[in-house]
Structures are given as structure tokens and as C-alpha cells.
Amino acid sequence: MKALRVLNTFTAASLALVFAAATGASEPEDIIKYRKNVMKSNGAHMSAAALLIQDKVPEYKGRLADHAQAIVIFTRNIPALFPKDSDFGDTDALDTVWSKRTEFEKRAKDTEQKATAFASAVKAGNNPAIAARFKELSDSCKACHKDFRREQQ
């Protein structure tokens, strides 16, 4: 019974959150936090995939497709993570994200395509192709950061 009550409380709290989000606009600082976490997750999946591709942790080799899929999902529509009003505060996004929007969207599309190509190569299982598609994907992430993210120390 106690477990059920905890579950109900959790459900009520979740619903309250859903309704709060549905009725009010998100805070820009929360959007920035959210997009940084999504970007970080892409970075983490890329790093994990690199270890698998280099065959450093062969016992997890079977997970490469899952990392590739996660990257496909979370590189989808990157520009949506950068709405107007999320250009100030704790962000490394440069003004060019908004002032050169067409170029920014082009870079995002390129990364989406490279992520899909990488996932297809993983599915096909050809190691040299996997390594090549991974490198192209990684270069595509960097190309966007070079022009649209504050230089990292």
C-alpha cells in the first residue's frame, strides 16, 4: 500500500509538472540548461562510441548501435534547441546562431545526415566504413562549434 501511495504522489507531481509546462512559457535559462545537457549527452555517446570503435572495451561492442541511435535521435532538429530569447546568460552560443540562422540550420542538417550515415554503417557492420562515418560525424559537430560556439579553453 505504501508503495502505491508513493507511486500516486509521483504521478500527481509529474502531472502537475506537465500542466505547469503546458500553461506557461519555459524560462530561457532552463532551455539553455536543457540544450547543454542534450549536447553533453551527444558528446558522451560519441566518446563511448570511440572506445568501442577503437576496440578498447570489446565486451561492450554490441552496444555501438545503441550509441549511434541515441546520437541520431538527439541530433534531430538542433535549431529547435536555440529559440530566440535563449541567447544570453550561461551560454556559449555565439550571436551567429541567430544572425546567421540559415548557415546554422545547414550545419545542423549536415550533422543529422552524418549521424544517420554513421548508424547505417554500424548496422552494416563494416569496420573501416564505421570508422570513416564516425570521423565525418565528429568533424561535422566540430564544424558547427567552430563558427557558432564560444571557443573552449
Q: Interface with ligand HEC by CB under 6 A: which residues?
A: 32, 35-36, 39-40, 42-43, 46, 71, 75, 78, 91-93, 97, 104, 107-108, 111, 137, 141, 144-145, 148-149
- How far apart are alpha carbons 4 and 40 in whole angstroms? 35
Q: Choose between 39 and 130: whose C-beta lies nearer to ligand HEC.
A: 39
Do 67 and 13 touch, CB atoms closer than 8 A?
no
CA angle (147, 149, 153) in 5-degree steps: 110
Residue 142 CB, shortest distance to ligand HEC, in Å, is 8
Cell numbers at residue 105, please? 540550420
Residue 97 CB, shortest distance to ligand HEC, in Å, is 5
Residue 37 CB, shortest distance to ligand HEC, in Å, is 7
Q: Choose between 52 and 91: whose C-beta lies nearer to ligand HEC.
A: 91
Q: Choose between 71 and 122: whose C-beta lies nearer to ligand HEC.
A: 71
Do 68 and 133 touch, CB atoms closer than 8 A?
no
Closest CA to 111 of 84, 147, 61: 147
Q: Choose between 100 and 129: whose C-beta lies nearer to ligand HEC.
A: 100
Residue 17 CB, shortest distance to ligand HEC, in Å, is 23
Supply the Cα-derived Rg of the chain in whole angstroms.
19
